Structure 1
Amino acid sequence: MGTVIHRITESQARQLISDYTYTIDDGAVSEWPTYFTEPCLYRITTRQNHEMVMPLSIMLCDNQAMLYDRVEAIEKANIFEPHYYRHVVSESKVIGKTDTEIQMETSFICVRTMLDGRVTVFATGRYSDHIVLDEGRCLFRSRVVILDSSKIDTLIAIPL
């Protein structure tokens, strides 16, 4: 019997992106770290910083422990007005692919709804994702959120 080789598919990667988005939008932020490998990278930056290859980040987590710390801060320490996100994402564009890894970019718009009914466009930009197969599961090795605007709302409490 030969070794079974698992190959990543575009469909699996797109499903990961979709599942991630619904998890954030449904408020299940405690599940957020489970979408990443160990080690991993989650970074929010601006388009200008990304294009200039500047390391400045609005949010930076480079391992799962930091992701879980972020979740704990959201659930227990940070005080912010309750709100909800709703993402609309584009079809993902494949940037590179091997048997076990895929790099994709996906445009997004995120609308924030406050409990009083106020609705605002919170963020627009793109995700630059490095997705891998890890023990048969499709996970993010890195997710870089590249925001179109350098004008950032101070209420980035929940991951994009």
Structure 2
Amino acid sequence: MTKLHAQYYDLAASGFYFETAEDYDTKAAALRNDYGDRVEEFEIQFIDGEHLDCELAKAIGLNQANLVQYLSAVDAWEDWEKQTVIIAVGECGYQFEPDLMPIQFDVEIHDVSTLRELAEQFVDEGLYGEVPEAFQYYIDFDAIARDLAADFSEIKIAGEHYVYACR
């Protein structure tokens, strides 16, 4: 379960921990500062939960405006969907908007650690055509990796390495 903290901007009030949107709404509505005034603005902080959910919070710039959507995504999305949004929003410049579906992003993600590994994978899959066995030892994978760097980038998400391209 993801645990968040609503840190007040009003210096005369105390923040609170919460795990659901309903819990946030209840506690935020009841919160008053030392003068009896309602506290309305909070900084939302990720406190505890899955590492991937923390990365998602950072990528989208978790705040009051996208809090409900974030909590819904944490519960409903698969890991690959979270990774797609982290890359699309955090690296490719897409926006985290209401009713966002991760499949709407044109982001290509490969489960390899480096561009060289991607080059090797592409050659193995025949992307560059059939390579006779006698020539396989002469392929310059580093040169192919440098060429791939024009379209692909490397990223580390929640301790795992990936190579991606924004289209």
TM-score category by the smaller chain? under 0.3
Identify the structure with the greater helix proportion. 2
TM-score in terms of structure 2 length: 0.24
Larger gyration radius, structure 1 or structure 2: 2
TM-score in terms of structure 1 length: 0.24
